[in-house]
């Protein structure tokens, strides 16, 4: 079960405070991710180690590309159409915004389902409050933001879909929750149902942060605070555990020319940070991933 896998630190990518949302762009040979408190999207060309970053007025938590290479993002106050300019200064145009039930909230984890709808969840940024007012939203291909699809979340995370799109995964990484749920997912309407516990991390080390699904349909979750990647079969059985140099892995994504490289973003804690915390790591997980779906809608010109 425990795999001795070497994780390479990508020094050229720089060090983040809260690295999140790695996205592989095959046509560019580049990995993108965000540094949330720094309000930045970062891009690293893997072959040349060339790094680019774009700064924004609001924190960027999650994003996805459309087929034209434009970006839809979940930020502090809503869903935005983001433009990555050559001048390294990003532009953002708000497309939709939920009615936040509390102050100090923002979007957190998000990605597209297999049909190209963009999903993102909200949270109260002060995790010490343990406010269960977060919710998961669907931003569809027509540019419409749904009402809360799943509510009562403290720290929404772990969003992913099975290879056939028929199962949706969602986690709550707050220390009081530490749960991953599975849902039956109606691919025609984009509606999850039959919520059940898929993995309870009270039985394992860490908290279930960002996640990815591989070509075998297994669910990889970043065990935050435990410096681990955990792989669960579709039946919810832990079948692989990989130790990482950083204590707080935050999200993972498959990339590389064959989608066999697993990239992992990490968080640099405010105290007792090691030299590895905050960097992106790359490792050969021994399995192949799936291409990240593009957003299916037509984003307006910013």
Domain 2-284: CATH architecture, name and number where available: 6 Propeller (2.120)
Annotated binding-site residue? 272 = no
> What whole-number distance in Å separates Cα of residue 141 and Cα of residue 272?
43
Place of tokens 């002060």: 126
Q: If 0-12 CB within 10 Å is exposed, 13-18 middle and 19+ buried, where does residue 54 land?
A: buried
**Concatenated DSSP letters for 270-293?**
SSS--SSTT--EEEE-SS-B-PPP
> What whole-number distance in Å separates Cα of residue 276 and Cα of residue 207?
19
Q: Tell me which of 172, 209, 214, 277 is the catalytic residue.
A: 209
pLDDT tens string 97-142: 999 999 999 999 999 999 999 999 999 999 999 999 999 999 999 9
Does 209 qualify as catalytic in the annotation? Answer: yes
Q: Report residue 200's pLDDT band, with 50, 70 and 90 as the boundaries.
A: very high
Annotated binding-site residue? 66 = no
pLDDT tens string 16-47: 999 999 999 999 999 999 999 999 999 999 99
> What whole-number distance in Å separates Cα of residue 291 and Cα of residue 300?
24
Q: Report residue 1's pLDDT band, with 50, 70 and 90 as the boundaries.
A: low
Annotated binding-site residue? 268 = no
Annotated binding-site residue? 108 = yes
pLDDT tens string 81-106: 999 987 788 899 999 999 999 999 99
Annotated binding-site residue? 28 = no
């Amino acid at each position: 079960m425990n795999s001795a896998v070497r994780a390479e630190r990508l020094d050229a990518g720089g060090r983040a405070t809260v690295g999140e949302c790695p996205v592989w762009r095959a046509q560019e040979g580049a990995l993108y991710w965000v540094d949330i408190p720094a309000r930045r999207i970062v891009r690293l060309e893997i072959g040349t180690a060339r790094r680019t970053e774009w700064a924004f007025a609001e924190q960027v938590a999650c994003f996805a590309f459309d087929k034209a290479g434009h970006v839809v993002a979940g930020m502090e106050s809503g869903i935005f159409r983001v433009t990555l300019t050559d001048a390294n200064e990003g532009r953002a145009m708000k497309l939709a915004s939920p009615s936040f039930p509390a102050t100090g909230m923002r979007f957190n984890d998000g990605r597209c389902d297999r049909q190209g709808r963009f999903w993102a969840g909200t949270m109260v940024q002060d995790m010490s409050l343990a406010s269960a007012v977060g919710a998961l939203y669907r931003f569809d291909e027509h540019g419409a933001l749904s009402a809360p699809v799943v509510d009562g979340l403290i720290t929404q995370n772990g969003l992913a879909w099975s290879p056939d799109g028929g199962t949706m995964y969602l986690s709550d990484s707050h220390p009081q929750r530490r749960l991953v749920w599975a849902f039956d997912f109606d691919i025609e309407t984009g509606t999850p149902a039959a919520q059940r516990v898929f993995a309870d991390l009270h039985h394992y080390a860490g908290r279930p942060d960002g996640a990815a699904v591989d070509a075998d349909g297994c669910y990889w979750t970043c065990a935050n605070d435990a410096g681990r990647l955990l792989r669960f079969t579709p039946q919810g059985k832990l079948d692989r555990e990989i130790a990482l140099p950083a204590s707080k892995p935050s999200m993972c994504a498959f990339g590389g020319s064959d989608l066999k490289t697993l990239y992992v973003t990490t968080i640099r804690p405010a105290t007792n940070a090691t030299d590895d915390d905050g960097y992106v790591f790359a490792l050969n997980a021994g399995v192949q991933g799936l291409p990240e779906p593009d957003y299916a809608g037509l984003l307006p010109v910013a």
